[in-house]
Amino acid sequence: MARDRINRVALYTTVVGFCFFFAAPFLWMILTTFKTDRDLYRAQNNPFLFNDPPTLDNLEFLFFNTNYVGFIRNSLLVGTLVVIITLLLAIPAGYSLARLAGSWGERASIGMFLIYLVPPILLFIPLFRIVVALGLNNSLWALVVTYPTITIPFSTWLLAGFFGSIPRDLEEAAMVDGYSRLSAFTRVVLPLSVSGIIAVIVFTFTLTLHEFIYALTFVTASAQRTISVGVPVELIRGDVFFWQSLMAAAVIVAIPVGIVYSLFLSRLVAGLTMGAVKG
């Protein structure tokens, strides 16, 4: 009994400790968002309290006096286009690897996996030259064209595993009924793969939201920046930090993405562990 109690206390202490560690920067962001300059920049003030009444001025500044809304719009645009390109290329490729490619299918999917491990830092300098040669530098299209190089290999890998787990009999029955291979795929396999496709959409979209190196290098016009680079680079002017607006900008993005991640966690993990763990 006493031992049980000690265990409970230990468990809850661990939970609270971890939650605090991971959430601390976000709590600090929220607190900072609503502070006045006078409150924030007085060293004698207790930084954990509102010494002045909370204010919404900083949010107003962020939304009306900076490019923040533009950054969000750019990110949504890039994200949506990259999701579409990724789905268009990765769905057929994944099916091909799962069903149609014979002996070289396995080698091709190992190749896909290796490409997925090539980090942007290795490619950004030559890609920069290619982007310039294509005349895409300084436009969002540079990102729309380059991001699928990161998302397609992973998505193809994920979807190949997904399609592979659907029983072959289902398609074969449909083909006996007179469907072609392609319509058996679109009418039988695709509807059964909705959750895999959703995982690809979530993964692809959040990756475009997170990506930093390409966004920093290929796009330098302030109005064309996306959220991950726009906020830390454009909202800091020289050595002047608008901390309240910066923190607001960060937490406004963090919370919705966090909610989406919690909802799709199990599928994302299955993808990352490459089906090594069957959930």
Query: Where in 63-102 is the site for another protein (CB under 8 A)?
Result: 88-90, 92-93, 95-97, 99-102
Q: Does residue 210 interact with another protein by CB under 8 A?
A: yes
Q: From the list 19, 69, 170, 173, which residue makes contact with another protein (rule: CB under 8 A)?
A: 19
Here's the x/- map for another protein, 40-59, by CB under 8 A: it reads as xx-x--xxx-----------
- The pair of structure tokens assigned to 233 is 């680079």
d(C-alpha 261, C-alpha 183), whole Å: 33
Least Cβ distance, residue 136 to another protein (angstroms): 12
Of the candidates 89, 100, 85, 84, the residue with the CA atom closest to the CA atom of residue 164: 100
CA-to-CA dists, residue 95 to 147, 155, 169, 188, angstroms:
21, 11, 15, 12
Site for another protein in 112-141 (CB under 8 A): 113-115, 117-130
Q: Does residue 266 interact with another protein by CB under 8 A?
A: yes
Q: Does residue 238 interact with another protein by CB under 8 A?
A: no
> By CB under 8 A, which span of 17-25, 51-59, 76-84, 163-171 interacts with another protein?
17-25
Q: From the list 51, 55, 80, 149, which residue makes contact with another protein (rule: CB under 8 A)?
A: 149
Residue closer to another protein, measured from CB, 8 or 223: 8
List strand residue ranges (DSSP E) for the chain, in order. Answer: 236-237, 240-241
d(C-alpha 201, C-alpha 160), whole Å: 15
Find residue 240's DSSP bridge partners.
237
With 0-12 / 13-18 / 19 or more C-beta atoms within 10 angstroms meaning exposed / middle / buried, residue 24 is exposed
Q: Does residue 200 interact with another protein by CB under 8 A?
A: no
Q: Does residue 205 interact with another protein by CB under 8 A?
A: no
> By CB under 8 A, which span of 54-62, 136-144, 161-169, 264-272 interacts with another protein?
264-272
Q: Does residue 152 interact with another protein by CB under 8 A?
A: yes
Least Cβ distance, residue 53 to another protein (angstroms): 20
Find residue 236's DSSP bridge partners.
241
- CA quadruple 256, 261, 262, 264: dihedral, nearest 10: 130
Least Cβ distance, residue 10 to another protein (angstroms): 10
Q: Does residue 9 interact with another protein by CB under 8 A?
A: no
d(C-alpha 164, C-alpha 172), whole Å: 14
d(C-alpha 187, C-alpha 127), whole Å: 39
Q: Does residue 201 interact with another protein by CB under 8 A?
A: no
Q: Does residue 189 interact with another protein by CB under 8 A?
A: no
Q: Helix (H, G, I), strand (E, B), or coil: what is residue 48?
A: coil
Query: What letter would DSSP give residue 211?
Result: -
Residue closer to another protein, measured from CB, 240 or 277: 277
Q: Does residue 277 interact with another protein by CB under 8 A?
A: yes
